[in-house]
Amino acid sequence: MSPQPPLHPRDTEADDARTPRGLPPDQLSGLLRTGPFSEALRMAIKGRGLSLSRLQDRLSRHGAPVTAATISAWQSGKSRPERPHSLMALAALESILDLPATALSSLLAPPKPRGRWVNAAAARPSLAEAWSGLLHDTLDAVETRWTAHLTCVSRHHRVDIDAQGREHVLWSRQVLRAETDGPDRYIVSYQADQPGPAPVLRPSSPERVGAVSQDPAHGTLVAELLFDRPLARGETVIVEYLLEHAVTRPAAHQAGLYLQVPVRECVIEVRFDPAAPPPTSCYAFHIPHASPAEARERPLRLDASLRTHTVGLDLTPSRFGIRWSWDGS
């Protein structure tokens, strides 16, 4: 990033000369605590005594140009900064207006969902609801308050089936976006087809493993993957991990995900060991959380390497996956 040009002393003196001296300080500090954003911005601009054209010029010299009309729309409440460029300009505005860092950005609510995402974002179930109660009491040991504030931009979920038809390794990689300031962890949740010990969690990314909770009676596992720092709203993070079974398990018949939040792109891939006979049938399935009666499935084909996959785009909270059978079982 190129260094920001220094402010000209002449401009600073001129600006300070126009700063009103009679503005009640409690009025601005109160708005910075409670909002709304538009009123706090308008009052901060008034208190600094800068015209919109001067603010536009200052922002240009800070490397974050926006028009005076845009600033006017922000302070009138007609629009708000949402895109990365606008948020960068807002951070520069906080500096120009002599405000603490994030004083204004912290007043912004999560960005308004657009298009087909509107209904999905408004109807995000809790993690327990998304799993239909299958996680039982394992969730009590982990912090789940941030799960509904992370949107999954993309997810790739791959399961390896061994020569005996058992799930051997599960690999998952996803790109998550924070919809508010503060998310500092991701919750890995897993349930096996049958009761038994949970697989071993091995993070492949820089995240550290936090609290872990298992329920062998139901074959469930939940665990925290801790980020190196809390995310800011709009920031993305890549989470990658392996779940590896250390004990013998019964044959598997499906690989699926309980999607708690909307997912723009979801790929589920299953790889069967060539040393075993291939399954006789494979189907992709999708069961929307809000309308299970609209469940759909379609047949899948195996390629020459005994792999198959399904792709979901713009998925709402739902159950999404692949099931298979041997000899009609």
Q: What is the CATH number of the domain that holds 254?
A: 2.60.40
Domain, as residue range, for 176: 118-325
- Domain count for the chain: 2
For residue 143, count other CB atoms closer than 10 A to its CB.
14
Indicate whether 77 belongs to any domain: yes
Residue 306 reports pLDDT greater than 70: yes
Return the pLDDT at 94.
87
Whether the CB-CB separation of 168 and 277 falls below 8 Å is answered with no
**What is the pLDDT averaged over residues 269-292?**
91
Enumerate the H helices of 123-221 as residue ranges: 127-130
The answer on 172 and 285 residing in a single domain is yes
Indicate whether 255 belongs to any domain: yes
Residue 7 reports pLDDT greater than 50: no
| Mean of pLDDT over the chain | 81
Whether the CB-CB separation of 266 and 311 falls below 8 Å is answered with yes
The answer on 291 and 194 residing in a single domain is yes
The answer on 260 and 145 residing in a single domain is yes
Indicate whether 177 belongs to any domain: yes
Return the pLDDT at 321.
94
Return the pLDDT at 207.
81
Spatial CB neighbours of 75, under 8 Å, sequence gap ≥ 6: 38, 41, 42, 45
Return the pLDDT at 162.
92
Residue 313 reports pLDDT greater than 90: yes
The answer on 163 and 64 residing in a single domain is no
The answer on 59 and 149 residing in a single domain is no
The answer on 153 and 60 residing in a single domain is no
The answer on 168 and 63 residing in a single domain is no
pLDDT digits (tens, 9 = 90+) for 188-210: 988 877 777 778 899 987 788 99
Residue 118 reports pLDDT greater than 70: no
Give percent of the chain with pLDDT exceeding 90.
29
The answer on 53 and 148 residing in a single domain is no
The answer on 76 and 149 residing in a single domain is no
* CA angle, 53 then 112 then 61, to 5°: 25
pLDDT classification of 82: cutoffs 50, 70, 90? confident
